[in-house]
Amino acid sequence: MRHGRDQYGFHHILIPLVIIVIAIVGLAGWRVFKSRSGSGSNTRFTTSENGERQIGETEAIKAGKDLSGGKCEGKGSTKLTALPMKPTDFAMILPYGLMVDGHVTPIDHQYFSPTDFESAPDTYEVYALADGRITEISHRGESVGSRGKPSNDYRFVFSHTCTFLTYFDLVTSLAPNIKAEFDKSARSSGSMSSASLDIPVKAGQLVGYIGGQTLDFAVWDTTKPLSGFINPDSYKGERWKIYTADPLDYYAEGVKQQILSKYMRTDASKSGKIDWDVDGRLIGNWFVENSNGYEGDRGQGDGRYWRTHLAVAPDYLDPSYYIASFGSFKTSGDGEQFLIESASPDPKNVDTTTGLVKYQLSGWNYLVNGDFWDRRSHAQDLKITLKNSSRAGCALYQLLENRMLRAEPFPGKACTEVTGFTPAAKTYTR
């Protein structure tokens, strides 16, 4: 009986000990997982020794199938052997990373700017860059951005393999054979605004026309997710964004030289950059707390989903200056961008120990060889010049936690007039 009681007591002691050990091990494992994956992220990424974000082959193919509506084959990248427009039809290529109006965070596409920006719609032909298939075309029939004029814009997704895709937008009309397929699919689905397609195309094949506006273009490589977005899950609303790739890595050599002759930047980041986040630093993209990340209130509000966005990032043409980009600078809720006159301290160094930071905001122009750039013609090595006469206001930032920011703009104010946050300040997260 004594032995039995001792054994019974031992079990009572052992069971809680086992539970405690399991809890400790589980907590440790969870902390390791969180430190590796990033807070709140469900995306299956790993990080290499040199800091590059990696994704498994299965996940890369899955992402490509998602982006192509399941209409893709094979894997790996392919060479882009054709230009999207005739060399004489476009004057310049604007790089990734512009911030303008409702594009509050750095833009995930380049712009092929037509030789005549005032040309009529459908003036210039648009071609597929490589063999593949058109898997989606969307159609917008209303005014776009701040142009304030009627539009008839088409957006294309091309799958070349299940891990390599390209994208066009602002095409003003479709090639006749493409239009017939689009209309047929749209009618069968009951929506003339979007069509899921499977149209084989060859490199250099005519797919549409453009005029009076830029041609948007991007490359998506799902095997190379960008490492500069702290929380990839914040971009589920535009899931292709984290796979935006440098087109120069994929052009065939002859095409690449033609492309480079129209590029604006000559530095190492010729194609531009969109992912500026540094964990625990001010630089990069931010979203109002509990506002659904990049998606915001898209589909629920008045269409201005960007009102909850905020960014602090280098300018896309002269990265020696920073741009402060606001989804809602004034009560109107319009997206606006301003030059940070003197980025001291540097936003990439501002952390939780820095405290309150004030930046004076201004308008700006670009100079080329000492003259003002007209923003329509090709130029290289552009340099920013301040428009002091258009001083716009002051912006306050304070990093509360590694992924929590307090920010507030003060339109029309000099920073010497601003002492601290008001109740209008907002809290942002990654």
Whether 70 and 151 share a structural domain: yes
Q: Give the least confident one: 138-147, 291-300, 373-382.
A: 138-147
Q: What is the pTM of this model?
A: 0.86
In a domain, 270, yes or no: no
| Residue 362, helix vs strand vs coil | strand
Residue numbers of the domain that contains 218:
42-265
Closest C-alpha among 247, 194, 192 to residue 221 = 247
Residue 24 Cα distances to 12, 16, 58, 398, angstroms: 19, 12, 33, 35
Per the model's pLDDT, the better-predicted residue between 151 and 228 turns out to be 228
Whether 327 and 397 share a structural domain: yes
Whether 9 and 150 share a structural domain: no
Whether 280 and 417 share a structural domain: yes
**Domain final residue, candidates 265, 286, 303:** 265
| Residue 282, helix vs strand vs coil | coil
> What letter represents residue 143's amino acid?
S
**Domain final residue, candidates 204, 236, 265:** 265
Whether 94 and 218 share a structural domain: yes
Q: What's the confidence (pLDDT) of residue 149?
A: 55
For the record, the structure tokens of 157 come out as 């997704």
Whether 289 and 429 share a structural domain: yes
Per the model's pLDDT, the better-predicted residue between 75 and 25 turns out to be 75
Closest C-alpha among 377, 422, 392 to residue 90 = 377
Whether 259 and 291 share a structural domain: no
Asked if 348 and 278 touch (Cβ cutoff 8 Å), the reply is: yes
End-to-end CA distance of the chain: 63
Mean pLDDT of all residues in 272-278: 98
Asked if 122 and 130 touch (Cβ cutoff 8 Å), the reply is: no
Asked if 8 and 1 touch (Cβ cutoff 8 Å), the reply is: no
Calculate the average pLDDT of the chain.
Answer: 88
Q: Using pLDDT thresholds of 50, 70 and 90, give the confidence band for residue 299.
A: confident
In a domain, 135, yes or no: yes
Whether 364 and 403 share a structural domain: yes
Asked if 294 and 237 touch (Cβ cutoff 8 Å), the reply is: yes
For the record, the structure tokens of 387 come out as 């428009």
Whether 225 and 372 share a structural domain: no
